[in-house]
Amino acid sequence: MQTNFPLKDYNTFHFDVKAAWYDTIENPQNLKEKILNDELQTERILILGEGSNVLFREDFSGLILHPVEQRIDVVEDNEADVLIKVSAGYNWDEFVDWTVQNGYYGLENLSLIPGQVGAAPIQNIGAYGVEVKDFIESVQGFYLDTGEDFLLPAEACQFDYRDSVFKKELRGKVFISDVHFRLSKAAQPELRYGNITEQLAGREPTPELVREIVMDIRNRKLPDPKATGNAGSFFKNPVVSKAQFEIIKQDYPDVKSYPADDMIKIPAGWLIEKAGWKAYRVGDAGVHPSQALVLVNYGMAGPDEILKLAEQVREDIQYKFGIELEMEVRII
């Protein structure tokens, strides 16, 4: 365990903050034994993967646990599908690549999403019409206060749009050690969202090609966090009633939208761009010129500057569209 640990390389905004304590978790069982033996030095604990969906406002006064275990186990294998157990510390995109290479399908549209496997159920990550909840069978781990094991089936995880029980009742209370995925051996590509169909240009939509196209789209639209500090999508796409959508459509006939059960989802990036914020910059805090949903740190911006810009964007969207944007990034 290390003290006064610098986190600049462990958050994709690259803010120069520190953690009072930091520990790399190579074997979750060892952490569990420390909990059972009451050996942890603080009750304030944060599980941090690749830091791609967090914004540290200041130094963290507790203990940061960073899972790094790399393990994939095939638990069940039949003609139709496969059940896979993946350790939380596995890089998400490397796992998606592994599934495609092995002929296990469903996650192709989630290619190149930054982070680790353990964060996937917490955030219920999604992209291009696919959400990870549709492929998670269960989530495994233990409670940080008692060390008691849990195995939550998907129906108990309260999955919703970018939400789960791990962001509500269980927030900060558990360590996710493994995620169980059930994937199909038959390709069923989701092509309705983004411009995947356009990129196919008449080619057969194999999972390998869909993954390649999604990666190409993301690389062109989104900044590389290694080069430009950012946490990806800063806001959630708002979901509005059909009545509210029709009111907005009267003033903005070109409004983009997607069905969301009996509601309508409007891309937050479209709202921000339509409001004139795309490519806006003040100092080193800005809105990305290719994707207005992404707030960026061009080098020396601090947390307060990014949050001030975010609040200005939110207030303007509320004023112009009557929509309150919700932050997707976790503020710590």
Catalytic residue list: 162, 233, 328
In angstroms and rounded to an integer, the radius of gyration of the C-alpha atoms of the chain is: 20
Q: What kind and span of H or E run contains 60?
A: strand 60-67
Q: What kind and span of H or E run contains 219?
A: helix 207-221
C-beta neighbour count of 83 within 10 angstroms: 17
Angle between helices 207-221 and 92-101 (to 10 degrees): 150
Q: List 37's β-bridge partners, or say none.
A: none
Residue from 58, 44, 43, 45 nearest 11 by CA: 58
Torsion angle, alpha carbons of 116, 189, 210, 78, to 10: 60
Q: What kind and span of H or E run contains 236?
A: none
The SS3 call for residue 174 is: strand
Q: What kind and span of H or E run contains 100?
A: helix 92-101
Cβ(291)–Cβ(269) below 8 Å: yes
Residue from 278, 225, 270 nearest 54 by CA: 225
Find the distance separating the first CA and the last CA of the chain, reported in whole Å.
21
C-alpha 181, offset from chain centre: 17
> CA 191 to CA 205: how far, in whole Å?
8
> CA 118 to CA 154: how far, in whole Å?
14
> CA 111 to CA 94: how far, in whole Å?
9
> CA 317 to CA 271: how far, in whole Å?
7
